[in-house]
Chain A
């Protein structure tokens, strides 16, 4: 007798088919069905779960018009060498059609250390630009109208005093704080979890963040105060579900801290934004981004009782996965980046950074950066993808995956609650262990060739010679930067610096908002490191127990 259920008929035929020797799992190790069909959508009530673009719970996008209204911002993260060098790279990018700036700082700056600090030796200007004082901020944005370009700054531990320098520079340019647009990464929780650039223990860092949020709510209303970042969590080796869950858990923690500090959720939540990774597993990444919007909207509305719909929006930046780039056959990275960027666009990102093909080797050359930016322009203007909003909405597979990722994230939220919250979970090494385990499992899968990276563990070129040009940062950068720092120290009013720093240390021991004090320090050219030290007196330092 004929089987009347077409899916059963297919299943029977599939069961008799010869299959390739492969794992058929996602890059995160998620088991995948060979086919998703209408029954995978059962229980998925379209209106409540998907909604419409610009409507709660925003699964299909944060804006009603999405890319028909405005394309994503093409924002290439960049910074190297001296402030002058970075300034000329910015002018190059703006001239090529980039629509926003994104500052990469060097390692000493990320740790709040001056270029002449003992631990800074060899690192000044290497993986970003060095900023020691307001003078460097002036050089960095020379000739760039801060009131007209939006500026993103990837800075975390010393975010508040780097931002103070940025504000002091805006004052000097004659730009009102209210006209400034941009984003500070300012996400210290993921530093403890993944990127490891902190100065103080978690609580004082969190206090600085709530101070900054309150200050911006009053004075810099268009500024995105935190970019809650999954990017680094993923780069450290997490799965897609871990990236999603840990990032949103961090977001909820910031909300709870700000509410506990006396702020109304709708006064700050609209200025929170997110930052996700676009890794190689195309559909899983799209599902992750769609799930993020839905989870955030639900929690903000139901748990934190936000009333302003803007507080419910998970707006996010996407960067293609640096860890997916290969040093072998680097030209292939152009293809990888294109696929990842497309997943970011299909995931509904608000801004996008595409990596350059040479970044597994060095900082990108101008040529490589241009190809990366052009990749976004091809997606935007040639592929036709931005014409239709959330084109994968309703896909059996993508909707099922979106729901699965949401469920996995909810399981992690419960686990984090059991551990006492995000900060105790950090102190217990929970996130760090989960990520390290996932990274190791993935590396073993590569070792056993159960996962393939083309040109790396399969399809290798026997005799490969590197033929792409490499950008080098000259050793003179460090000398020049240290000399510039010394000149500023000679020129400035030392008495004013000492007074501002002493006032900062004193204020740090009280509950007063530290932003005005930090601005005072920046205006008189106190250095980044001096400001860190003044705060360390009050806050102490933090060391992590090394585990692997």
Chain B
């Protein structure tokens, strides 16, 4: 049986207009059979988590190339836990040094992708996560 449709929120938090990656990933996830809600630019953590609650999303993907990843990922994760979304996946990508990725992983953030990572790797990661986290 096919997987149920995975629902993904994609957003660009803060003041960062670099939306090429977010849009390419959004489109690739749709082509891979997922349902994607792209919130667009200048989103606050509150607005992102609110949308995830409204949409009952499985996954939140943040795209951050502004260097503000520590602030935004932590804040979104904190709000997810508070709003009853602790069992959903928070992932994303951007220019995020390995050291920071490790720190964010400790805070409960999922795998983070960077320049040069294959789209298929992102799709596989989300699908694997979804299969191993039934709800």
Which A residues are within 8 Å of any B CB, using their own CB?
107-108, 110-111, 113, 118-123, 126-127, 191, 195-197, 235-237, 323, 325-328, 360-363, 436, 439-440, 443-444, 446-447, 453, 455-457, 466, 470, 473, 544-548
Contacts and interface: CB of A to CB of B under 8 A. Distances in A.
Given A327-B115, A362-B95, A123 B14 contact: yes
Given A118-B44, A328-B116, 15 more contacts: A113-B15, A119-B44, A121-B14, A126-B66, A195-B17, A327-B114, A443-B28, A457-B116, A473-B67, A545-B40, A546-B38, A548-B22, A548-B23, A548-B26, A548-B38
* Residue from the set A108, A327, A360 with the largest chain B CB neighbour count within 10 Å: A327
A440 B27 contact: yes
Contacts of A361: 95, 97
Contact of B20 (A121, A236, A456, A466): A236
Given A107-B14, A197-B17, A127 B115 contact: no
Contact of A107 (B15, B70, B97, B119): B15
B116 A327 contact: yes
A107 B23 contact: no
A110 to B, nearest CB: 7
Interface of B: 14-20, 22-24, 26-28, 36, 38-42, 44, 66-68, 70-72, 95, 97-98, 114-116, 118-120
A336 to B, nearest CB: 13
A123 B66 contact: yes
Given A122-B68, A126-B66, A439-B23, A111 B116 contact: no
Contacts of A197: 15, 17
B48 to A, nearest CB: 13
A155 B23 CA distance: 24
Given A237-B24, A439-B23, A447 B17 contact: no
A360 B24 contact: no
B34 to A, nearest CB: 13
A120 to B, nearest CB: 7
Contact of B42 (A119, A235, A473): A119
B32 to A, nearest CB: 11
A237 B15 contact: no
Contacts of A363: 67
A451 to B, nearest CB: 12
A161 B7 CA distance: 43
B125 to A, nearest CB: 15
Nearest to A324: B115
B124 to A, nearest CB: 12
B71 A548 contact: no
A457 B121 CA distance: 12
B14 A196 contact: no
Contacts of A439: 20, 23-24
Contacts of A455: 116
A301 B127 CA distance: 58
Contacts of A108: 15
A545 B119 CA distance: 25
A120 B67 CA distance: 12
A120 B38 contact: no
B116 A196 contact: no
A325 B98 CA distance: 17
A443 to B, nearest CB: 5
Q: Which are the 7 A-B pairs with shortest beta-carbon distances?
A: A122-B71, A546-B40, A196-B17, A126-B67, A122-B68, A548-B23, A456-B116
A466 B97 CA distance: 10
B66 A107 contact: yes
A337 B97 CA distance: 21
A545 B13 CA distance: 16
A392 B108 CA distance: 55
Given A447-B119, A544-B41, A360 B14 contact: no
